[in-house]
Amino acid sequence: MSSEIIVVKGNNTLAGDVNVSGAKNSALKLMAASLLGQGASTIHNVPVISDIEIMSEVLERLGAVIERSGHSLRVDTSQVDRCETPYELVSKMRASISVLGPLIGRFGKAHVAMPGGCQIGARKIDMHLVGLEALGVEFDVDHGVLVAHTPNGLRGTHVMLEFPSVGATENLLMAAVVAEGTTFIENAACEPEIEDLANMLNAMGAQVTGAGTSQIEVVGVPLSAMHPCEHTTVGDRIEAGTFLAGGALTGGPVAVHGIDPAYLRMAIMKLRAMGCAVETGADWIRVSRAGDLTCTDIQTLPHPGFPTDLQAQFMLLAAVAEGTSVITENVFENRFMFAAELMRMGADITIDDHHALIRGVAGLQGAPVSSTDLRAGAALVLAGVVADGETRVHHIEHIDRGYEDYVGKLSRLGADVARVSAADAR
């Protein structure tokens, strides 16, 4: 638990330019993919966040040597000779499960602790396992540890995912690249981070086509054909969307740099539907608002649908918009906890199963609140920027998992926000 809280003074606005960091949800998998090459890969534009620290620990436990220089990571896997990832690490970050596919690709076996759920849902991995079994992997569970082995090696096949799971697509991809024969992944996740991973795998010698669409083809190559590479992580579309929501909330203009606007088409459409002006360039997006925010309805869906990771930020916009909005969360089973915290600040929200009905209010009041997940935490800080009075956000360790220098970036946009030791804040 963090020994600090974030204190933000309200009745403020955000305006200016912010450079987004590399995508957390890509960089973590790019690090795991480096296990498929024998030697040192360099990954650029890696955000300085705690989840990256944990993934570094996971890889070092396997025998990798990792050196960070600014936003670049050098991952040397030449000494990797272990295939175990213990519960103590997986329980810190469930994304550690992303080493399952590459470890099986590298060793033909893996011992990875089963990840637990988290605040937003059970986070099952059944689709990862069914898909890998189709490739010839056999699993036993030994006291909470997944024991994977491939008695007849990895063999290419046709896999259809029941749901376009991001993690399952990634684990399948990282095993299929060194399978014997060709693999077709149908109903694959289409998130931009999948394409980023495929681009790195191809730079390492893989033969992946169709990444970023729901049909991915992988022509397997021998493990010996895979080699280290140098790769730059794409910009973090969720961090970008978070700052754009901040600009929409207070009027802006706020411009985010280092992001492909094509990654945020649905969010941009919804910002415009809520009364914002949005301009885009090759690697930037600017949002501003002259009139009131107006209500809109949102369905979270796999990409290119509205991203679940922006649901809390847009619930905040709806909370102070004219009219009533309905947000339906279709991806996770328990991702409305943010609403309870926002209601403590005066929002008028009714939750009914997967639907949230948000009646816009004239304004919010600052209050002590708690982060329930990293996106909710980031949205609570934004709420504090416009609320009347002071807001104290607790459990900011969630925010530090996925936002590099969030307080610094907000301060440079004009927010009166600071990290304060919890003891001093009493």
Q: Indicate which residues carry an active-site annotation.
A: 118
**Sheet harboring 215-219: ordered strands across?**
158-160, 182-186, 215-219, 208-209
Q: Which residues contact 83 (CB under 8 A, 6 or more apart)?
A: 62, 103, 106, 107, 109, 110, 111
Q: Which residues contact 325 (CB under 8 A, 6 or more apart)?
A: 295, 296, 297, 298, 318, 357, 358, 360
Compute the distance between CA of residue 61 and CA of residue 59 in angstroms, rounded to an integer: 5
Q: Which is nearer to ligand EPZ, 31 or 154 (CB)?
A: 31
Q: Which is nearer to ligand EPZ, 286 or 375 (CB)?
A: 375
Compute the distance between CA of residue 176 and CA of residue 184 in angstroms, rounded to an integer: 9
Q: How far is the CB of 425 from ligand EPZ (least distance, A)?
A: 26
Q: How far is the CB of 212 from ligand EPZ (least distance, A)?
A: 14
Q: Which is nearer to ligand EPZ, 231 or 375 (CB)?
A: 375
**Sheet harboring 284-288: ordered strands across?**
16-19, 254-257, 284-288, 277-280
Q: How far is the CB of 175 from ligand EPZ (least distance, A)?
A: 14
- 8-state DSSP, 381: H
Q: How far is the CB of 98 from ligand EPZ (least distance, A)?
A: 7
- The single residue listed with the structure tokens 């794409």 is 234
Q: How far is the CB of 81 from ligand EPZ (least distance, A)?
A: 26
Q: What SS3 state is found at 160?
A: strand
Comparing every residue's Cβ against ligand EPZ, the nearest one is 167
Q: Which is nearer to ligand EPZ, 107 or 338 (CB)?
A: 338
Q: How far is the CB of 385 from ligand EPZ (least distance, A)?
A: 21
- The single residue listed with the structure tokens 């910002």 is 271
DSSP 225-256: G----EEEPPB-HHHHHHHHHHHHHH---EEE
Compute the distance between CA of residue 23 and CA of residue 403 in angstroms, rounded to an integer: 10
- φ, ψ (nearest 5 deg) of residue 153: 80, 170
Q: Which is nearer to ligand EPZ, 32 or 415 (CB)?
A: 32
Compute the distance between CA of residue 297 and CA of residue 47 in angstroms, rounded to an integer: 32
Q: What SS3 state is found at 3?
A: coil
By CB under 6 A, name the binding residues for ligand EPZ. Answer: 24-25, 28, 95, 121-128, 163, 165-168, 189, 191, 308-309, 331-332, 374-375, 402
Q: Which is nearer to ligand EPZ, 17 or 57 (CB)?
A: 57
